Structure 1
Amino acid sequence: MTYHEISHFRLVSQKLYKTSPNSPQEIVHYLGAMQAQDYAMAKWAIGSRCNATEKEIEEAINSAQIIRTHILRPTWHFVAAEDIYWMLDLSAPQVKRFTNSAAKKYGYDLKKLDQTNLAIEKVLAGNNHLTRDEIMRELNIKKTSSDDFLSAAIMMNAELDGLVCNGKMKGKQITYTLLEERVSKPKTKLTKEEALSKLAQRYFESHGPATLLDFSWWSGFPPTTCKLAINAIELQLNSVEIENQIYWFGKAIYYQTNFRESVHFLPAFDEILISYKTREASILLEHQSKAFTNNGIFKPIILENGKVIGTWKRTIKKDHAKIETQFFDVTEKEKKTALFEGIQSFENYLGTKITIE
């Protein structure tokens, strides 16, 4: 298997070929967790893998079929409602190390965070959906700085404790509500080993071919822990060795070898790049600084046949959306015309006319 083949198989495993119809929640469940700190772009990450419109995806989020919360790594993710509890049980202890450290700087130890959780529960009880600022006002917690790191740490801690998750959007503002009022708790719990194996299998089947270090980066667990998870499920996966690296992937994609011409306009922080520790299979080293920064800021990308060839950005106008592109190499006019056919699905998703510059 070559890097070119890896990039092809990842298009297959990540459902970017759209070979079968899927609902928004089915896409999120299949991928396990999708990074979602940029809410507008994260919705398109789902939309690019199914035929749902932005409105339909928002309905799935507002109705709690898809949950947006902090999980796996200390950032926002989309998670299917059916996965939220076992995934929180598994990953929350490791992510809470970051939130606890941040809260301590403002005098909030574990006891004070627990007391704050009780107060938040009272404020939100009865299916209330409040913004972070509204919750802080109810708790008489004043903003500590322009970035308001304290309230962020408090709410992230409440998310990781399984107390709150995203509520219904209030205009363009994100709200919080009680998780148990949105999603019922399951009657049984997985052991840590069962959950970790389940997470590993979900990752390699939906993101493979990928390495142990890729899974470690995506899951937030150390390589030694991830190795144990792979050992537990290796008979259920296929693998190939390239330059002394073992790449694992689901058995289902092994038979899908039909390469096809394809162009994808993908959002910032899309799983096609963000979910791998190293990204040479999808983007040349000399172009990586044009697509993402060393401190983890990812731009929307243009993918041609599995390779990143440029970046793009959108501007929403009153009656249309404007798309601006920047290619890494000079692209002939004829090729640009072919590439822009790849934006058609984004136009359908937005439900508005698109102009390209």
Structure 2
Amino acid sequence: MGRSPALSNRAVGVATLARQHLLERAEMPAESMVGHLLGMQAQAPFPPYFGLWSRIVAFRAEELAGLIENARVVRIVLMRGTVHLVTAADAAFLRPLVQPILDADLRTNTQHRQALAGVDAATVAVIGRELFADGPLGHSELGESLARRFPDASPSSLVHAVRNLIPLVQVPPRAVWGKSGHVRLMPLEKWTGVDVETNPSPERMLLRYLAAFGPASVADAQSWSGLTRLGEVMERVRPQLITFTSESGAELFDLPDASRPELDTRMPVRIIAAFDNLLLSHADRSRVITADSRAKLFTRNGVFPPVVLVDGQVAGEVKLTREKARSLITVVPYRRLSKAHQATVAAEARRMSKFAAPAAAEHEVTFAEVV
């Protein structure tokens, strides 16, 4: 068998940005975009709004807020054991596929495993479901109720166990634009009316991952999902795929008819939301961020701010400060930007500012020193 054709980092990057609708904003309903992206990381409530603003023409925050309020999209623990915003159908599809991550966490989590030692997980799950009979519960309410049944275990650890054992969604007003609210939980099936799939296809999951994040290696897919042994699954779908070789020598898989634009394709300035999966879904992230930039960005235990892409690569981070009559965006560049690039970055930043703070009378953009 001959060696697969080579793809440069730039070729891989432009292909990924095309799939992510970051080369050209799409005229697509928000629900369809969330589905296409196979979820958006959402441990903070509002970054997905900015992620959709970056990808959809004339996106309105009220559209996503309505989908959350109507249970069309939900926030639930999924890939990598983190909270994601997904369609209700994808929550039911993905949760059983990533359940092994959450089961393993109960055995390995240093914060909770000792407190849960001797507690029967199956019993916790049964009792946990019963507690939601009358509606959503906050963490403290759920913990207090569980502690009455399991007095020797920590309430917070019991809540963590239920959150891992039962598909629980965070219900409104949490994550509704313009509103605030503490986390309140409800079983997925009760909140959405959608039953969790009993035999979800990991092959389908990988094909959808490639549609949104490809070309990608097995290691990339494992980094996105948090799962292991996906090489076996990829082998089963190999006949449906084509392969390439990355600059590092890794085998990259892709859908035959997926977009792979020419190398000279224009890559416009884009501001990428905090926690965006674009930066978290590959083992080799050089397609969108250099090693130097990655060292500057990922210094906060996985928490990172919005970033700006210039010519397809992370070129700095963005800080938004909102006041009653003024919205200020500070761009912190990771390298020197030309005057032309500064102008286009400033224009995109002002557009984001007007989306984030439409009532502000002033929208100011400043550039900090290169870090």
- Fold match (TM-score > 0.5): yes
**1:219 deviation in Å?**
1.4
In 1, are the aligned partners of 2:25 and 2:55 still within 8 Å (CA)?
no
Counterpart in the other structure of 2:45 = 39
In 1, are the aligned partners of 2:167 and 2:187 still within 8 Å (CA)?
yes
In 1, are the aligned partners of 2:320 and 2:330 still within 8 Å (CA)?
yes
Q: 1:59 aligns with which of 61, 66, 70?
A: 66
Instruction: Encode CA deviations 1:113-155: one digit per residue, 9 max, x unaligned.
Output: 44444444344324x23322233345457xxxxxxx9555434
**1:254 deviation in Å?**
3.5
Counterpart in the other structure of 1:98 = 105
Residue 247 (structure 1) aligned with residue 246 (structure 2) = no
Amino acid at match of 1:104: R
Aligned-pair Cα RMSD in Å: 2.8
**What is the number of residues matched between the two proteins?**
345
Bigger shift: residues 345-354 or 301-310? 345-354
Residue 23 (structure 1) aligned with residue 32 (structure 2) = no
**Cα distance in 1 between the residues matched to 2:33 and 2:312:** 19
Q: 1:230 aligns with which of 234, 241, 254?
A: 234
Unpaired runs of at least 5, structure 1 = 142-148
Matching of residues 136-285 of structure 1 within 5 Å: 136-139=143-146, 153-169=157-173, 171-186=180-195, 189-190=198-199, 195-222=201-228, 225-243=229-247, 244-254=249-259, 256-257=261-262, 259-285=265-291
**1:8 deviation in Å?**
0.9
**1:46 deviation in Å?**
3.0
Residue 125 (structure 1) aligned with residue 133 (structure 2) = yes
Counterpart in the other structure of 1:144 = none
Change (3 A) 1:156 1:14: farther
In 2, are the aligned partners of 1:291 and 1:300 still within 8 Å (CA)?
no
Q: Identity over aligned residues, as a percent?
A: 19
Counterpart in the other structure of 1:5 = 11
In 1, are the aligned partners of 2:268 and 2:311 still within 8 Å (CA)?
yes
**1:282 deviation in Å?**
1.4
Residue 74 (structure 1) aligned with residue 81 (structure 2) = yes
In 1, are the aligned partners of 2:318 and 2:330 still within 8 Å (CA)?
yes
**Cα distance in 2 between the residues matched to 1:163 and 1:187:** 8
Q: Say which SS state the counterpart of residue 104 (structure 1) adopts.
A: coil
Q: Say which SS state the counterpart of residue 73 (structure 1) adopts.
A: helix
Unpaired runs of at least 5, structure 2 = 1-6, 175-179, 367-371
Q: Say which SS state the counterpart of residue 285 (structure 2) adopts.
A: coil
Counterpart in the other structure of 1:301 = 307
Change (3 A) 1:136 1:110: closer
Change (3 A) 1:280 1:313: same
**Cα distance in 1 between the residues matched to 2:65 and 2:237:** 35
Bigger shift: residues 132-141 or 257-266? 132-141
Amino acid at match of 2:181: K
**1:271 deviation in Å?**
1.5
Counterpart in the other structure of 1:86 = 93
Instruction: Encode CA deviations 1:12-46: one digit per residue, 9 max, x unaligned.
Output: 01122345322222122112232211222233223
TM-score, normalising length: structure 1: 0.85
Q: Say which SS state the counterpart of residue 65 (structure 2) adopts.
A: helix
**Cα distance in 1 between the residues matched to 2:143 and 2:244:** 51
Amino acid at match of 1:350: A
Amino acid at match of 1:124: F
